Structure 1
């Protein structure tokens, strides 16, 4: 679907792939961002766009010489990983519950952490730079080590999926855990303090920013890259445990080779070249979709997910959506739906079906097919997946 240029009369245009009008609050948030002096060319909104903090979730903001820490968000490097295994659906027969229980035993979820730190974690290169990070997190090295290889909560999940050819895929969604959150909070606080000192009037204090060339910008950039690497490696550690569990049940413990492996962020900032200029690109709930980039766009539990390949659309800053996008807040979902609704909507999926995950009910999300239709000019679908096991954070 072609995007539309929203009539917002902002200094920089806002291009939207949403295919529907924004709510008044969403419009205001888009306007606020598009009015910032350092925003480059235009702001791009993905089909799953919805309210966030400071900036819309599902927005791609390219900036010259400045970064907005709250626009990157607090789960730095949050993203997805997927592996296509050589196994097929018939091998899963009668094993789904055992696999789910093994995943829950091997990978801590919610606020939990690992009891022991495995070798793959202690060997991670990133620990060498830990002492360089923001002073506010220096006491957290032990916790960061124990949380590496853990899922977290909210909309994070681990899934066994089948594609339309009945191949078994393993998929997970997670970020930089407590350490990423604390780094983000510390820098957001600094940005807000600087704003007050400069008596700078912004349409929203959550848009407080750092300017390139200042020590504060350099410190944030360093910590951001560190947390993004932590998040990516966190997914690697969990996935290798996950693969071992599935190999135990389906392959008699023999090691297998993945047919395809994808690991991509959807909450992060990177230096990239667009329209011939070097800019900082912040993807807040968006996946990079340069030509031939593989990406992952999950639906809600009980819905389809998609493995995609980027088309390199320059107007979207080579980006696509990161999921279905929420239709209603967590509280609204809890008030509107019952556990019975959850059981109905997750039929055929081996997962928790209790009040603790009610805010993640499929009905709280936009229909993923509609979201995919809106971005046919951004990505092509490589595989369509449906989950058979789902472990929620």
Structure 2
């Protein structure tokens, strides 16, 4: 069948008002009905025009209905001349570039408050470690490309000494039961209830990504994503796990929503930049109004990506647990690269945490160091000044390019040997020297979290391993 050809005059002929609705209608129909007969498409558009309210919630036609009922004006947005209230933690460890990125975000017309965590460094849109509260608006690049990226730690009743005495066994478990990067997937993906999510049926963009998401379930990305064995020391007598103080064997993973999240981020970022064009220095901070079709759709897709990231970790830990023949005693996990609806000073705001950990009062989280530095299990203190957030890791001290230029393979091998860490994969860009001192980062957020346990890596697997 020939590809659909649709022009503005075709829609004007059946009564569509001249304006933005025509362009939106053509874009939608060419995208979703490009192989359908033109007369059927025209009839579909004619029916929609008679009663657009009936189609407002339709996953495909809702965008056209919205343009007919309450057209959204696209106009260039200006930054405010003043910043909304903010707070920077551990400021002496943060580059000026990262601070300036936050300062730009604080001038957005939709911004209501912000914060920067002590692991902060520059990124796209919001800096990594940036937290921004907005009113009824979500910023795709304020969430990040790897939507719902998270940490997950499982603790086992297995002597930690086994990690040395049976090292080859644990190395083989990581080799056989973890997958990394863009090409590695499990030969037999497991099923998961996340694939029953309605968004896989109702949102066309997401629907197209389902098969890829299924293949990638239980895998991790490249870059700083990892799965590692290590020791977990519980230091708080009154911990939430009900475990005695002591040392346990642990599995810690860091990863996100894979191709599903990345494609959602790219698609809705393009839409946001069309809806709310901003000055050059702020263009990546374009937002979607949550009252619009695209805004509501992104919110649903973002939450699905978060659920999918959680499902990936769940699959990873189940595979490793089966291989070890042991069930975890306890588990801790938390998102970053996400946006939440939260009450701030009695008002519902959208809180973006791009590389920042939720730290509401008594909420548990994990803040990793590097492949040789300890990570920390923390309990949030509920600090309003940080918008109830903490750092999501140590944060980069060197860019990937600078790390590759300044760190040698022999230096990396020596550091790993000195710390008794075995590394599978991992490039020089992820060398411990590329990261800030986690001790200084933790010292910069004593107002935000208290430490209840510590994780020390022993066998690490990353991409290229």
Deviations along 1:345-364, whole A, 9 cap, x unmatched?
A: 212112136xx511100000
Partner of 1:36: 108
d(CA) in 2 for partners of 1:47 and 1:235?
26
- Verify: 1:149 aligned to 2:218, yes or no: yes
- Verify: 1:313 aligned to 2:383, yes or no: yes
Matches within 5 A, 1:211-226: 211-226=289-304
d(CA) in 2 for partners of 1:351 and 1:222?
38
Which of 151, 171, 179 is 2:252 aligned to? 171
Shift of 1:21: 6.6
Partner of 1:230: 308
d(CA) in 1 for partners of 2:86 and 2:331?
34
**Over 6 Å off, 4+ runs:** none
d(CA) in 2 for partners of 1:361 and 1:137?
35
In structure 2, do the counterparts of structure 1 residues 364 and 310 end up closer, same or farther at CA, with 3 Å as the change threshold? same
Conservation of the 8 A alpha-carbon contact between 2:163 and 2:170 = no
Deviations along 1:295-324, whole A, 9 cap, x unmatched?
A: 000001011111111111111111110000
Partner of 2:141: 70
- Secondary structure of the 1:204 match is helix
Which of 78, 84, 87 is 1:15 aligned to? 87
Shift of 1:203: 3.9
- Secondary structure of the 1:101 match is helix
Partner of 1:274: 344
- Gaps of at least 5 residues in structure 1 are 1-8, 248-252
Shift of 1:216: 1.3
- Gaps of at least 5 residues in structure 2 are 1-80, 234-245
Conservation of the 8 A alpha-carbon contact between 1:126 and 1:230 = no
Partner of 1:160: 229
- The structure in which a higher percent of residues are strand is 1
Conservation of the 8 A alpha-carbon contact between 2:94 and 2:118 = no
Matches within 5 A, 1:93-242: 93-111=164-182, 112-119=184-191, 121=192, 123-133=193-203, 135-164=204-233, 165-196=246-277, 200-201=278-279, 203-242=281-320
In structure 2, do the counterparts of structure 1 residues 95 and 241 end up closer, same or farther at CA, with 3 Å as the change threshold? same
Shift of 1:202: 6.2
Deviations along 1:256-299, whole A, 9 cap, x unmatched?
A: 3x332112101101111121111111100011111111100000
Shift of 1:140: 2.6
Partner of 1:49: 120
Conservation of the 8 A alpha-carbon contact between 2:86 and 2:385 = no
Conservation of the 8 A alpha-carbon contact between 1:286 and 1:320 = yes
d(CA) in 2 for partners of 1:10 and 1:114?
51
Conservation of the 8 A alpha-carbon contact between 1:96 and 1:388 = no
Shift of 1:82: 0.4
d(CA) in 2 for partners of 1:214 and 1:362?
44
- Secondary structure of the 2:158 match is strand
- Secondary structure of the 2:222 match is coil
Shift of 1:22: 4.5
| CA RMSD in angstroms, aligned pairs only | 1.7
Structure (1 or 2) with the larger CA radius of gyration? 2
